[in-house]
Chain A
Amino acid sequence: MDFLKDPLKVAADWLLGILAGWGMPDLWAQVLIGFLGVFILISLLMVLDILLVWIERKVVSRFQSRIGPNRVGPFGLIQPFADIIKLLIKEDITPAGADRVVYNLAPILSMASVLILWAVMPLAPSILGVDLNVGVLYIIAAGAIGTLSIIMAGWSSNNKYSLIGAFREVAVMLSFEIPMLTVMLIPTIFAGSMGVAAITQAQDVWFFFIAPLAAVIFLIAAIAELGRAPFDMGEAESELVSGYNIEYSGMKFGMFYAGELLHAFTFGGFWAIMFFGGYRFFGLEQVSAFLAIAVIFFKALVGYWIIMWVRYTLLRIRIDHMLAFNWKFLTPVAFVLLMVTAFMNALLTDTLRIESGSVLYVAIMFLSNVLVAWISLETARAYSRRARERVEGPKIAEAGRS
């Protein structure tokens, strides 16, 4: 029973007992067990990554009305293993004139930035890599290393299209960090802490119901952060022929590709944690840690599915439209939402003494979010209508409006 609830502690204590029996000093034993735990988690993540390649390819093929890989194993399940083997045995071509150190470091940092994000992903009430009290800020900071790796890849490739792709991609990633940070403040306000465990524990009512617009803005900003379509300036398959990873071959490209998929899954997980209750599911997580892991895995998969859905449905947005969308629409809306949420939260809990978590609270917060969304969309629509009228002439716009 104890093992089901807290498997890591049981296993760690058992190992500690064995190592102490062998005469290892306590500190070394703890360090070794720490490393071992991290190593096991990251190995499981790499296996998950391979599974995600399969999921991605099957889903994209179903969206495009084709079957996808189905030759290599049952339902094509062995396909990603075949891909990994192919990438491993490919020749590692370094372009002439490339900046060697930076060129080799970029894919490593790209993958590392995703792997260290799992330090703050709560998988179960008792399984959390590190319960940092600045968990949310850590997510942003670790993601920034990924942004750095893209500019490193673009710069060191000695290829002007790679450089342009990297510049654009990093401009988009930086720009969309602002609404993401702003919207991440909203679960922080509700939970009273930046730590991910506290945010998960505070979600008796999922934060999605209290702040749905925040969840939507976070999703949009996260898709832009990931560098996936419709914001994939960096890859832009039809424009820049692979963008910042033109000159990468073999496993280095594999690191970028697999890192991107794992990053998408990780952000599906963070979306689930911040807005959909994380590993919580009506008390199921109290029964066993493994059930909690299954719950959060499922929720992250749903988030990943939505991210894939958006990718394979929408067209790529032009770079100036992307940046205008961010700075002129998303950032003001995110800030207005933050102000409204903070104000309504204080109004309801402080002044009107409505219990936070009650139906009235949830309903009022939900409605205030819907109001902010509606007002911002109407403002955007009026603005674009005015811009269209300036261009087309009032008569034509009148005919279009009726």
Chain B
Amino acid sequence: MSSWVYVGFFLVVGLIVPIGAIVASWLLGPKKPNPIKQSTYECGMETVGDSWVQFKAQYYIFALVFLIFDVETVFLFPWAVKLGQLGMFAVIEGIIFILILIVGLVYTWRKGMLEWV
């Protein structure tokens, strides 16, 4: 059987075990809902304002920068695997690739996209 079938087994059993634990808790625990218990927790006070607060745009910027470098690293994986057999020329090529992307990182840094505020 292909090796990925075992990953499927792991996924199935890995999902069943926590589901089983939570179902066991649901079966064993008392069920007495009342509005006070189910109200949203805000350090003992009444909640003020909407729960779904405005999404800070800076998170989106960080996700974008993450995406760029994530894709770069995924491209680097086949390069790393075959590096032993490819010699110095491939190393220089890879270094040029990484340098181009580091220039991108420096660009985002200087543009102020990596600041939190």
Residues in chain A within 8 A of chain B (CB atoms): 30-31, 34-35, 38-39, 42-43, 46, 87-97, 104, 107-108, 110-112, 115-116, 118-119, 129-132, 136-138, 157-161, 163-164, 167, 171, 174-175, 177-178, 181-182, 185-186, 188-189, 192-194, 241, 246-247, 250-252, 254-255, 319-320, 323-324, 327-328, 331-332, 335, 338-339, 342-343, 345-347, 349-351
B66 touches A255 (CB 8 A): no
- The CA-CA distance from A309 to B106 in the complex, in Å, is 34
How many whole Å from B61's CB to the nearest CB in chain A?
Answer: 10
Report the minimal beta-carbon distance from B43 to chain A, rounded to whole angstroms: 6
A118 near B18 (CB under 8 angstroms)?
no
Asked whether B41 lies within 8 Å of A181 as measured between CB atoms, the reply is no
Assess A164 versus B88: contact at CB under 8 Å? Given A46-B17, A158-B40. Answer: no
Q: Smallest CB–CB gap between B66 and chain A, Å?
A: 5
A255 close to B62 (CB less than 8 A)? no
A131-B3, A178-B70, A342-B94 are contacts. A115–B17 as well, Cβ < 8 Å? yes
**SS class, residues of chain A in contact with chain B:** helix
A342 to B86, CA, bound (A): 11
How distant is the Cα of A112 from the Cα of B14 in the complex, in angstroms? 5
Q: Which 4 A-B pairs have the closest CB atoms?
A: A251-B25, A320-B116, A115-B14, A111-B18
Q: Please indicate the chain A residues that have their CB under 8 angstroms from the CB of B17 in the complex.
A: 42-43, 46, 111, 115
A163–B51 touching, CB < 8 Å: yes
List B39-82 residues whose CB lies under 8 Å from chain A: 39-43, 47, 49-53, 55-56, 59, 62-63, 65-66, 69-70, 73-74, 76-77, 80-82
* Interchain Cβ contacts under 8 Å between A and B, 8 examples: A107-B18, A112-B14, A160-B51, A164-B53, A185-B73, A192-B83, A339-B95, A342-B83
Q: Which residues of B contact A131 (CB under 8 A)?
A: 3
Question: In the complex, what distance in Å separates the CA atom of A253 from the CA atom of B14?
Answer: 17
- Chain B residues with CB under 8 Å of A88's CB are 21, 24-25, 28-29
6 other A-B residue contacts (CB within 8 Å) besides A185-B80, A192-B82, A320-B116:
A96-B35, A163-B51, A178-B70, A332-B102, A342-B94, A342-B95
Complex contacts, A43 vs chain B, CB 8 Å: 17
B109 proximity list for chain A (CB < 8 A): 327-328
Residues of B within 8 A of A (CB-CB), count = 76
Out of A96, A254, A332, name the residue touching B40 (CB < 8 Å). Answer: A96
Residues of B contacting A338 in the complex (Cβ-Cβ under 8 angstroms): 76, 98
Pairwise interchain contact B39-A96, C-beta atoms closer than 8 A:
yes
Please, which residues of chain A bring their CB within 8 A of the CB of B40?
95-97, 157-159, 247
> How far apart are A161's CB and chain B's nearest CB, in angstroms?
7
A42–B17 Cα gap in the complex (Å)? Answer: 8
Q: Does B32 contact A (CB under 8 A)?
A: yes
| Bound-complex Cα distance A390 to B32 (A) | 60
Q: Tell me the bound Cα distance from A337 to B54 in angstroms.
A: 39
B97–chain A nearest beta-carbon distance, Å = 10
Interface centre among A110, A327, A349 (most CB of B within 10 A): A327
Complexed CA–CA distance, A343 and B70 (Å): 22
Expressed in whole angstroms, the minimum distance between the Cβ of A129 and any Cβ of chain B is 6
How far, in whole Å, are A319 and B5 apart by their CA atoms in the complex? 40
Tell me how far the C-beta of A8 lies from the nearest C-beta in chain B, rounded to whole angstroms: 12
Q: Distance in Å from the Cβ of A104 to the closest Cβ of chain B? A: 7
B24, A251: Cβ atoms closer than 8 Å: yes
